[in-house]
Amino acid sequence: MGKLKKKTGAYYLVNTVLTAILFTVLFLLISGRTLNNYWSGVVVLICINVILAVSLNLVTGILGQLVLGHAGFMLVGAYAAANFTRAVVTNGTMSLYVALPIAMVIGGLVAAVFGVVIGIPALRLRGDYLAIITLGFGEIIRVMANASFLQPVTNGAMGLSVKTFSNRTDPGAMFVFAFVVMALVIVISYTFGRSRHGRSVIAIREDEIAAEAMGVNTTYYKLFAFVLAAFIAGVAGALYAHHIGMIDPSKFDFNRSVEILIMVVLGGMGSISGSVISATVLTILPELLRGFSDYRMLLYSIILICVMLFRPSGLLGRYEISLPKLVDKLLHRKEKAAKTGEA
């Protein structure tokens, strides 16, 4: 038992060190302008997409429910946060460095409220209502964002300009925020899956009736996982808004939700490392294959169908790639080799 505990401690240490190294390298590359504007933008986008994919994985992988309105939660979070920073930064109450974290929390909370409102009717019931109700939410929130009585908040299809960090004086700021949030979200999701709450959610996924019979409050835990994912999507929306500097409802359409979903499905439903990898690959790939953009969604849909037909749990399934474990394995092999050599 003691050995196991020591091992987890060591695992955490290795992970923290590796994350810190990755962060430092990327930060130096971006703030030193070794990576040009375009590619440092892509790095931030990767962080945001990882956040989105990991949060969707909480519902799709751990809870086993389909959510098709993740872009809708992003939209809500993005507009809430953008309006907040516009107000406080313009009149000089706060600098953006202070305002952005607050704006992210606000964006997340507003998205979570929407999550509760549409989660309660959908999740009280058995069956697939969550899929269709989130699909409806995603479509309709986008239509509503264009409505004339919401113009003062959303500025409709014209788009709302958002405060951003000056690229000239501080090119690394946005990256720092995105990376820190990404790391936090990954840690939260990973520990959630292994916590008391997470195990209840997994029990519901495996067998809702049995879980209920064991005394798990199914509605509460389903709602909990769903609202947590909505909250994180709202935070990601806030980050996204302050990254691109100009938001309009068409940036949060159904295709965006599908893109996030395909990251989760391809990486493996229930595998956080799978989501991280596929979000990274699927963000870089379209940048490299620009001429391919007309066929991208067509290809995505074919991939979705084929993965479901031939490997329904996604490429990694529920398997987690763990770097410390990998290191451990390599060391052990050496130890073993040394031992056999002695003998």
Partner 1 sequence: MDFITQLLNGLGLGSIYALIALGYSMVYGIVQLINFAHGDIIMVGGYALYVMLVIAGMPLWLAVLAPIVVCGLAGVLIERLAYQRLLTHNAERISLLITALGVSIFLQNLFMLLFKSDAKTMPPMFGSGVFELGGLSVTYSTLINIVVSVVMMIGLQMLVNRTKIGKAMQATSEDAGAAKLMGINTNKIIIITFAVGSILAAVGAVLYCNTYPQIKPTMGNLLGLKAFVAAVLGGIGSIPGAMLGGYLLGVLEQLTKAYITTEVTDAVVFAILIVVLLVRPAGLMGKNRKEKV
Q: Which residues bind partner 1 (CB under 8 A)?
A: 60, 64-66, 68, 117-118, 120-122, 124-129, 131-133, 135-137, 139-140, 143-144, 147-149, 209, 254, 258, 261, 265, 269, 294-295, 297-298, 300-302, 304-305, 308-309, 312
Token pair, residue 65, equals: 């429910």
Length of the chain: 343
CA distance 277 to 154: 34
Q: Which residue, 272 or 307, has its beta carbon nearer to partner 1?
A: 307
- Sign of the CA dihedral 174, 179, 184, 190? positive
Dist CA 250 CA 256 (whole Å): 9
| 14 within 8 A of 324, measured Cβ to Cβ | yes
Q: How far apart are CA 68 and CA 86, in angstroms?
A: 29
Residue 262 to residue 177: CA distance in whole angstroms: 25
Compute the least distance from the CB of residue 287 to partner 1, in Å.
20
Report the residue number, 294 or 342, with the smaller CB distance to partner 1: 294
CB of 244 to partner 1, least distance (A): 23
Closest separation in Å from C-beta 12 to partner 1: 32
Q: What does 106-129 look like in DSSP terms, one character per residue?
A: HHHHHHHHHHHHHHHHHHSSSSSH
Query: In angstroms, what is the minimal distance from the CB of 138 to partner 1?
Result: 10
**C-beta of 298: minimal distance to partner 1 in Å?**
4
Residue (84 or 221) nearer to partner 1, CB = 221
Q: Which is nearer to partner 1, 102 or 131 (CB)?
A: 131
* DSSP structure string for 39-54: HHHHHHHHHHHHHHHH
Query: What is the smallest separation between the CB atom of 155 and partner 1, expressed in angstroms?
Result: 16
342 alpha-carbon distance from chain centroid: 49
Considering beta carbons, is residue 11 or 254 the nearer one to partner 1?
254
Closer of 122 and 241 to partner 1 (Cβ): 122
